[in-house]
Amino acid sequence: MAVVIRLMRAGAKKRPFYRVVAADSRRQRDGRFLEILGHYNPLTKPYELVLHKDKVENWLSKGAQPSEQAASLLRSLGIARPAPAVKAKPAEDAPAAEKAKTPRKRAVPRQLSARKIQKRAHRAAKAGKPAKATASASKKAAKKA
């Protein structure tokens, strides 16, 4: 279960008030949550932000990811997100990853339906270009004729 620290909207229409909560990432914004960590009122000048710092740090240490707005509010209070543990990648994996990103060509060309071949020929005729013919396309055209 991926836990996120997010703002849960409360308050009346046009009068927002937010609870800072730890919730399962699959739940909806105002749905079920695991724990209330504080609240945020953007309407007061200056805005009101109350957080239980120990609860927030506890969830962050367990791997909870704050949403963008929640992270901004946490930074304003000086609560930094713990740096994720960076795993060193072996040098051998880097070239393999690059090879995987390049698209591969098919060993055998894809079989096209007769309808698709007709459409392509029609489009090519409209544009004034010769239609691409494939081996399977010419066999199917011969069967129809």
26 in a structural domain: yes
Say whether both 66 and 8 belong to one domain.
Answer: yes
Closest CA to 71 of 3, 136, 137, 7: 7
What is the domain count for the chain? 2
DSSP helix, strand, coil percent of the chain (3-state; round to 5) = 35, 25, 40
Select from 77, 95, 123 the last residue of a domain: 77
Q: Specify whether 70 is located in the same domain as 124.
A: no
97 within a domain of the structure (yes/no): no
Is the separation of the CB atoms in 8 and 33 below 8 Å?
yes
Please give the residue range of the domain that contains residue 40.
Answer: 3-77
Residues 126 and 62 placed together within one structural domain of the fold = no
Pure H helices in 1-145:
53-61, 68-77, 93-101, 114-127, 135-144
- Sign of CA pseudo-dihedral 19, 21, 23, 25: positive
List the CATH number of the domain containing 54: 3.30.1320.10
pLDDT at 7 over 60: yes
Asked whether residue 42 is domain-assigned, the answer is yes
Whether 105 maps to a domain, the answer reads no
pTM given for the model:
0.54
pLDDT digits (tens, 9 = 90+) for 76-127: 888 876 655 555 555 555 555 565 667 777 788 888 899 999 998 998 888 8
The predicted pLDDT at position 97 comes to: 58
| Cα angle 121-127-132, degrees, rounded to a multiple of 5 | 35
